Amino acid sequence: MRLAVGATIVIVALSLLSVLVTGQEAGAADEVHARAKRSSNLVGGAKTLDKKDAEQRLQASLDKLAAGDGPNYRISKVYSATTQVVSGTLTKIDVELFNENDEKERCTVKIWAQPWLPNGYEVTFDCPNKELVKRRHSRSVEQLEKKTHKKRNHHSLDKTEHLFSKFQIKYNRRYHTAMEHQMRLRIFKQNLEIIKELNRNEMGSAKYGITEFADLTSTEYKQRTGLWQRSEDKPSKNAPAVIPNIELPKEFDWREKGVISKVKNQGMCGSCWAFSVTGNVEGLHAVKTGKLEEYSEQELLDCDTSDSACNGGLMDNAYEAIEHIGGLELESDYPYEGRKDQCKFSKSKVHVKVKGGVDLPKNETAIAQWLIANGPISIGINANAMQFYRGGVSHPWKALCSKKNLDHGVLIVGYGVSDYPMFKKTLPYWIVKNSWGPKWGEQGYYRVYRGDNTCGVSEMASSAVLE
Ligand SMILES: *[C@@H]1O[C@H](CO)[C@@H](O)[C@H](O)[C@H]1NC(C)=O
């Protein structure tokens, strides 16, 4: 290959990486709590924060301060930023600001956010030759409403704005203020760039485009996932799975055997882990008994104390929790609410019991063998390419979808191969059941490349064991 082309791709990939792989910072109070509760290896170090995220965060604080007693700064340019989980989040931003006299000065701004406190935001401005300015402000959704905001000019709709209004109609988006509209439009524009890059670097056959998540930042989008990292100091208690030595057929799909329930929707709650587990248990139970039942994720949100409901969890924890709780109730008896509620578990309504779990090897051949012999498999996956996935076999550039950054729990239900004789291309893939409703992806499913651990598909494969 020509070196120059390769180098360009790497540069593009790396710059994109900074946009895509920024799901580390904590925004909402509950998320901060959840992260602090998690293993200590996640807490501590400062991580690079994407400039546009930093700008948004700083703008929100400046708006809030301007509405109070100042100072009245405007952002000229963000040079760099880091974020760190402390008691709350500490964001440090190296930024050029316009001061009250419209002069530029380069300052370090620290935003220490403890959103669960009444006046939980402390903003410190450290500017050259000036005393440190320290201010506090509260958290408010209304902080985006600003008196100085100009009315939108409806006569200059460019192409992006046209796409944006189509998006708003299709996904029924209503923004409450003109300010929020402008902010969402800005995010939408940036996402169009990411979509372009994903399509340009796609090695499979997937198409990326505008989805219902097209007006969300990567941080907001990741609230629809919810998988914790397995902590290194607390290894999985699962036994290793026994891999049957069977010859693999070219294709296999558990959906055709009637053991997979309809695609569900976790909503705006980081409960992917619970959906991954119910899908797994539903499948195992149906394979064993011939009867497909739907089990309750809400029971896990309410009663599994080792996981954190809408603030994320681990499938490993849930297998053990189901054993402790005493089994799973039916979805219809214990319906989904999408938020943590009181545990209403009733032993008399149990339909399936679990005895811990097993871990599958990080080997995609072995995973396929186990799948055929047993049923669907819970996996962790990096969800970067899923935000804008519209269909096809997804094989993103590795740098855009690191196997180390598993943030979403889903379910492998089968596998297959796509042949593209015209392009002399053969694409083996996994069929992955997601929990973002049937309108997402391919009727709620994701096809992801099989054979090179794309997006970490084989890193965290596991299953419950039925009693
Ligand atoms: C993966 O599993 C298959 C079948 O179980 C086995 O033949 C193969 O050697 C394994 N590969 C590695 C790298 O361990």
Catalytic residue among 181, 401, 434, 455: 434
Structure tokens at 329: 């109730």
Beta bridge partners of 446: 432
458 CA → ligand 1 middle, Å = 13
450 CA → ligand 1 middle, Å = 14
- Rounded-to-integer distance, Cα 231 and Cα 40, Å: 9
Place of tokens 């958290």: 139
The domain segmentation of the chain, as residue ranges, is: 46-126, 218-466
What is the best residue among 360, 364, 365, 370 to mutate for testing ligand 1's pocket, by most ligand atoms within 8 Å of CB?
365
pLDDT of residue 275: 98
Q: How far from the centroid of its chain's Cα atoms is residue 389's Cα?
A: 13
Place of tokens 């996640």: 42
- Rounded-to-integer distance, Cα 16 and Cα 441, Å: 22
CATH 3.90.70.10 fits domain 218-466? yes
361 CA → ligand 1 middle, Å = 9
Correct CATH for 46-126 of 3.40.50.1820, 3.40.630.30, 3.10.450.10, 3.30.70.370: 3.10.450.10
4 Rama class: left (phi>0) / alpha (psi -120 to 50) / beta? alpha
Q: How many residues does the chain have?
A: 467
Nearest to 378 by CA among 338, 295, 318: 318
**Contact call for residues 329 and 281 (beta carbons, < 8 A):** no
367 CA → ligand 1 middle, Å = 10
- Rounded-to-integer distance, Cα 38 and Cα 228, Å: 8
pLDDT of residue 240: 97
**Is residue 153 annotated as part of the catalytic site, yes or no?**
no
**Contact call for residues 12 and 71 (beta carbons, < 8 A):** no
36 CA → ligand 1 middle, Å = 38
> E-assigned strands of 348-450?
354-359, 377-381, 389-391, 393-394, 408-420, 425-433, 445-449
Tens digit of pLDDT per residue, the chain (467 long)?
343 444 444 444 444 443 443 333 333 444 434 443 443 333 356 788 888 889 988 988 888 888 777 888 899 999 999 887 666 678 999 999 998 888 899 999 999 887 666 788 899 999 988 889 999 988 754 333 333 333 444 444 578 999 999 999 999 999 999 999 999 999 999 999 999 999 999 999 999 999 999 999 998 998 889 999 887 777 788 999 999 999 999 999 999 999 999 999 999 899 999 999 999 999 999 999 999 999 999 999 999 999 999 999 999 999 999 999 999 999 999 999 999 999 999 999 999 999 999 999 999 999 999 999 999 999 999 999 999 999 999 999 888 899 999 999 999 999 999 988 777 789 999 999 999 999 999 999 999 999 999 999 999 999 999 99
Overall pTM > 0.75? no
Q: In b/e form, how buried is each residue of 136-174, taking b as 16+ CB within 10 angstroms?
A: ebebeeebbebeeeeeeeeeeeeeeeebbeebbeeeebe
Pairing of the two strands 445-449 and 393-394: parallel
Work out which ligand 1 atom sits closest to the CA atom of 243: 5
**Is residue 408 annotated as part of the catalytic site, yes or no?**
yes
Nearest-CA residue for atom 5 of ligand 1: 366
Nearest-CA residue for atom 10 of ligand 1: 363
Work out which ligand 1 atom sits closest to the CA atom of 366: 5
Nearest-CA residue for atom 11 of ligand 1: 363
pLDDT of residue 65: 87
Work out which ligand 1 atom sits closest to the CA atom of 245: 5
Nearest to 17 by CA among 429, 462, 454, 398: 398
List residues near ligand 1 (CB under 6 A).
243, 363, 365-366, 369
Catalytic residue among 272, 310, 401, 455: 272
Place of tokens 């195992």: 284
At CA 83, angle to CA 37 and CA 101, rounded to 5? 140
Phi, psi (rounded to 5 degrees) for 299: -55, -40
**Contact call for residues 192 and 160 (beta carbons, < 8 A):** yes
Residue type at 341? D
pLDDT of residue 168: 95
